[in-house]
Structure 1
């Protein structure tokens, strides 16, 4: 085959794949309107609670996209245009591969050795950012596009394909991108579980001026770029985020919005991801600038802790190397970040290499957090009263290869209808957000 024939063949293959790839279509009339493409129908809104004033911002919203290298996002026009309105974090890193452990880490301060996207139920005595927020009466919600019902703990949800009505049903929602559903400390408490909401709920909360102070936003599997590409995700941002930046119910002068990716695509290089700080809380003189400080997903926790003077989880959120506070916040409150550059930047591209209670090949039990740790907020380490604090990292036994013994970790979920040792999953009730 000659070079010209090969080039023509490659072009034809590209055209075939392009024709098969889904094309972006708005999932609804707009982010402020309900959509029949979201199965859950909103019946009420979250309550308007007193605002807890922060040192730099009063609302914090994180939006997660999927599996993209920094350079790819940084050369895409939509992301370039958004960068002119905020601060580009050029040295922000995901903490591992694949997706699920990154989401878990952002809420729990650790990924507990997890190296896959399997179904887990992290025990109720393991704390999360929700414990820290509620200790200061800071309102919160998780908004998951295409979540079937409020508080759902389903592993995934398949529904009619709104992109192509002639195609088979499509799985738009997956639990692995919804960290709140993975922690029993959230889903076992009805008042918390009801705050895991879908985008029809978001529209209702938005129009009622009831968007909470801390928010976690996950688009569906096509809109976040997981099953599509960066251009598809960019089209969704033009549809959803761009108008929200101009909506004062979502973004006012005390709002910080973090747009990030769970991990990069090329696992042969370190895990740098495109991350952008947006919102009215960004000072005018910093818009369109670049911050080269080293950050990771744990900085999402430490920045919130610093802003509201919260306690910590005593895990990687208190690891000074991994949890620098966003500089524009640190500068205002006088927090001293660590200088982490060059070879000092941790390598976080490995998967499944860390021992932990969610690693079947390197299993160790859950350990107590560092009770003496001091996080960016200065408050105490939050510990569940039912956690055995005598089990520390220093007293853990050697890792055990449970997989080699035909066993799974005790926190494994019920993907096949049963749990560890044949146990039956607990009953699931549909939570009414009212």
Structure 2
């Protein structure tokens, strides 16, 4: 029994050490906007600016329609058979499991999220379908884990304190993400709330920011805008690899040496040709 405990402690220690790894970035922040075709997003001056400042993924595609399956894929490496926006309760493993076992920290910054492991479909401008964390049972039914799902007001405090987690997913509410207001509103919101941060070397230090969308507005395709910002990215670069949200997840798995969930992330590949 003592040998088993000792092995466990040694393993835990090795995981904590590995949590400092990452040659390209130490932290990642994904900001997800809504329901916009690639070409329409690129018409927005601020999104054009971000593409020039960082790397543009010119063949980035949503995994599915409608919205929820794309959010699930970001954490699950697959849509997990989610075919609509109705509440789902998924028993499978997820990216959080991989992060925690390696000693990495995480948070879901979900605008207007009520807190307290709330599992209702909506409340005010909050929509559960845009909060993938709460759809995984091993998070939703674990109070200490779902305490990491917080309102975006906490993001401002964490950012000011230099205390962002290793992995963060930021989902604005139904107005600010453009779902009910359009891409012009969402782009202006993004600029107002993040331009000063993206221009701050201290905020961006060792951080990779991913600005992406859940899906295209046009249902006959699913080409979406995605830009990557960070010190490790070549400004003005691009890649025409065909990529999806699952490839973004694989990039994080590889950078943090997490292994995979053995789903579609197993065969996925992160973006290439954009790194310094």
Q: TM-score by structure 2 length?
A: 0.89
Residue 299 (structure 1) aligns with? 247
Rounded Cα–Cα distance in structure 1 between residues aligned with 2:200 and 2:122: 31
* Shift in Å, 1:240: 1.3
Q: Is the 8 Å Cα contact of residues 67 and 85 (structure 2) preserved in structure 1?
A: yes
- Pick the structure with more strand per residue: 2
Selected match of 1:193 from 138, 146, 150: 146
* TM-score normalised by the chain length of structure 1: 0.58
**Secondary structure at 2:253 match in 1:** helix
5 Å-filtered alignment, 1:41-190, equals 52-123=20-91, 126-158=92-124, 172-190=125-143
* Matching residue within 247, 260, 263 for 2:215: 263
Deviation at 1:328, TM superposition (A): 4.5
In our comparison, the structure showing a higher alpha carbon Rg is 1
Q: CA deviation at 1:208?
A: 2.2
Once the two structures are superposed, the pairs formed by residues 23-422 of structure 1 within 5 Å of their partners are: 52-123=20-91, 126-158=92-124, 172-248=125-201, 250-252=203-205, 254-268=206-220, 270-282=221-233, 286-319=234-267, 323-328=268-273
SS of aligned partner of 1:96: coil
What are the residue-to-residue correspondences of 1:417-432 with 2, within 5 Å? none
**Are the counterparts in 1 of residues 61 and 223 from structure 2 also a CA contact under 8 Å?**
yes
The answer on whether the counterparts of 1:207 and 1:249 sit within 8 Å (CA) in structure 2 is no
Superposed CA deviations along residues 73-125 of structure 1, whole A, max 9, x for unmatched, are 112211111111100100111111000011111111111222210011112xx
Describe the shift of the 1:249–1:178 C-alpha distance in structure 2 as closer, same or farther (beyond 3 A).
Answer: farther
Contact 2:152 2:170 in 1 (8 A): no
Structure possessing the higher relative contact order (Cα contacts under 8 Å, 6 or more residues apart)? 2
Instruction: Tell me if the contact between 1:206 and 1:249 (Cα under 8 Å) persists in the aligned partners.
Output: no
Distance 2:22 2:64 in 1: 30
Gaps of 5+ in 1: 1-48, 159-171, 333-434
Q: How many Å apart are 1:207 and its aligned residue? A: 2.2
Counterpart contact for 2:117–2:141, Cα < 8 Å: no
**CA distance 1:144–1:150, shift in 2 (3 Å):** farther
More helix by share: 2
- C-alpha displacement of 1:255: 1.1
Mapped to 2, the partners of 1:175 and 1:227 lie a distance apart of 15
Instruction: Please state how far the C-alpha of 1:305 moved relative to its aligned partner.
Output: 1.2
> How far apart, in 2, do the equivalents of 1:177 and 1:250 lie?
25
Distance 1:188 1:148 in 2: 16
Runs of 4+ residues over 4 Å off in structure 1 = none
In 2: Cα distance, 1:250 partner to 1:118 partner = 36
Q: How many residues align?
A: 260
8 A contact 1:151–1:197 mirrored in 2: no
Residue-by-residue CA offset, 1:327-352 (whole Å, 9 max, x unaligned): 147x78xxxxxxxxxxxxxxxxxxxx
Kept in 2, the 8 Å contact 1:150–1:197? The answer is no
Is the CA contact 1:294–1:324 (under 8 Å) kept in the aligned structure 2?
no
CA–CA separation in structure 2 for the residues paired with 1:127 and 1:135: 12
SS at match of 2:53: coil
Find the aligned partners of 1:186 and 1:154 in 2 and give their Cα distance. Answer: 15
